[in-house]
Each structure stands twice: as structure tokens, then as C-alpha cells.
Amino acid sequence: MNNPFTLSFGKKPVQYISRIAQTERIIGDFTAEESPNQIYMITGVRGSGKTVMMTNIASEIRKRSDEWIVVELNPNRDLLQSLAAKIYAIPEMHAVFVKAKLDFSVFGLGVTVENAVPVTDIENVIEIMLSHIKRLGKRLLITIRMLFLLLILKMLLR
């Protein structure tokens, strides 16, 4: 008998178990007006399809609406720095931050804005970013792939 699992991260195995009910439940919870859950942890043995499932959820949420910003984080990097950098790198968001004359230059995220006080704490940077995302009527989905655990976070911005 062949091993039904794959040992390559995110690679769909030959005998992939789609987990339609679980995937739809997570997507339904996150896209609901009054979301019952803001976080899901997906656990399982190596190669059982955790990353594939998380990737499917993220891509399905991206497809369903342009109100979503989906950010995939690497746990081997500073999560807050990485989150701020990835949000700032989205062209639409970058334009909003520049227009608001926010100076995130201390973090290497952008140019210095004349007469703007630089934000010097990464938590403040993210709070400011989230408030602008909320004003735009957007939602944020954060995915983090870890060795045996996947986190899918939905930031409640409404």
C-alpha cells in the first residue's frame, strides 16, 4: 500500500482528502456578518494536508470578495514586522498610507513624509494599519504555517 500522505509542504497529494465540510465551515464562519470564530488551528500529522487545506481556504476567501486582504506569514520571521511589511506592500494599502501621510520609515516600510511624526513602535504601526483597513471596509485574514499547527486568524475589523 502506498503512503497516502505527502512530505512536501503544500503539495497536493495523489490521494488528497478534500475536507469539504471543514473548509466550508471555516470559510462560512469567517465570511459571516457576525462571525462565531476568529481563529482556527489545524493540526495533524506531517503530510496529512494541513497546508493544502489552509491554502485552499485562503484562496477561496480571496476569490469570493475583494473586501478581503489575505496575508500569509512565515513563523521563522518576526510576525509583527512581517505583517506590517506585507500589508504595506499591497499597492492599494500603500497608497492609503502615503495619502494619510503616515511615516513608517523607521521600519523600512516606506519613505519619510515631511512634517510627519514617525511611528516608532511596531504594534502602533499595525494598529494604525488596521484602523485604515477598517475604514476601507476591508477584512483581514492571516495564515501562519508552522510545523504541526496552522493558524488561520480573521481580524474583526467591522
Amino acid making up residue 105: S
Cβ distance 138 to 69 under 8 Å? Answer: yes
Amino acid making up residue 126: I
Residue 135 has pLDDT above 60, yes or no: yes
Cβ distance 134 to 157 under 8 Å? Answer: yes
Task: Name the band, by pLDDT with cuts 50, 70 and 90, for residue 117.
Answer: low
Look at residue 1 in the predicted model and tell me its pLDDT: 57
What is the value of pTM for the model shown?
0.75
Q: CA separation (Å) from 71 to 3, 90, 114, 125, 155?
A: 32, 10, 30, 16, 11
Least confident of 32-41, 84-93, 129-138, 143-152: 143-152
Report the C-alpha gap between 98 and 65 in whole angstroms.
Answer: 25
How are strands ordered across the β-sheet holding 39-43?
39-43, 149-155, 139-145, 68-73
Report the C-alpha gap between 33 and 28 in whole angstroms.
Answer: 10
Look at residue 41 in the predicted model and tell me its pLDDT: 86
Look at residue 92 in the predicted model and tell me its pLDDT: 87
Q: Which residue would you say has higher pLDDT here, 10 or 125?
A: 125
Look at residue 20 in the predicted model and tell me its pLDDT: 86
